[in-house]
Amino acid sequence: MKSHSRAWVLFALLVLIWQTLPGGPFKYFADMVREGAGRSAEWLIASQAWQAVFVYLVIAIILILLLVVGRHKNQLYIAGICSLATLVHHLLLCIRTGQIYPVSLAIAIGLALALFFLIVRAKSPALWLSDAYVVSLSVWMFREGVLAPVTRLLSMNQSPAIEWLGLPEQSLVRNLSGVWGLPLIVWLLIPLAGSILPLVFLSQGRSRG
């Protein structure tokens, strides 16, 4: 499958399975990046509105960097690096809280699969797994910064289908509502652009698989 088709298939799939156990490792990775960006924003910026912009910008930049790396031979190592970082972060969480979480096993399986695909040189599965970690950042921005506020603006958040998606109750982009006199719907363009444009322009030209 062509790389841009693979990216969009994974995007749609992750949106649907985000709250399920199979989507757990990818959701956790995106949440981990968001947590790091959020802490940096709080340290650097006083305004909550611009903290939101900073978080979206950082996540978009990391997404772009991973997509650029995916154009080279190093792309096969993306899954291993992302899954290892996720596992280390999660282990520290488990040690700090003294408990095991439902997603713990899924995170460990994610790392095991990444290493297995590298060892046996299974190129196609490795590409799909690597892209899933990369695209998870795009999915996080789209769900949190676009889908969640839009469904609330349209009063669709109580429908069974939307509830099943498990969208967050609060969105960072809401902190921008009214800034410079602009309504929330205008500020939605920031997470929308950050989540979609990198996939449109940078998901092509990589390995087929």
Cβ neighbours for 129, distance < 8 A, ≥ 6 positions apart: 79, 83, 110, 113, 114, 117
Domain presence at residue 185: yes
Domain presence at residue 113: no
| Domain around 186 | 3-76+135-200
> How far is residue 75's CA from residue 203's CA, in Å, rounded to a whole number?
12
pLDDT tens per residue across span 53-90: 999 999 999 999 999 988 777 777 899 999 999 999 99
Place 170 in a pLDDT band, splitting at 50, 70 and 90: confident
* Closest listed residue to residue 197, CA positions, set 60, 78, 29, 53: 60
User: Which amino acid makes up residue 207?
Assistant: S
Cβ neighbours for 113, distance < 8 A, ≥ 6 positions apart: 79, 83, 125, 129
Average pLDDT over residues 23-45: 96
- Structurally, how many domains does the chain consist of? 1
User: Torsions phi, psi of 102, nearest 5?
Assistant: -55, -30
pLDDT tens per residue across span 81-139: 999 999 999 999 999 999 989 899 999 999 999 888 888 777 888 889 999 999 999 99
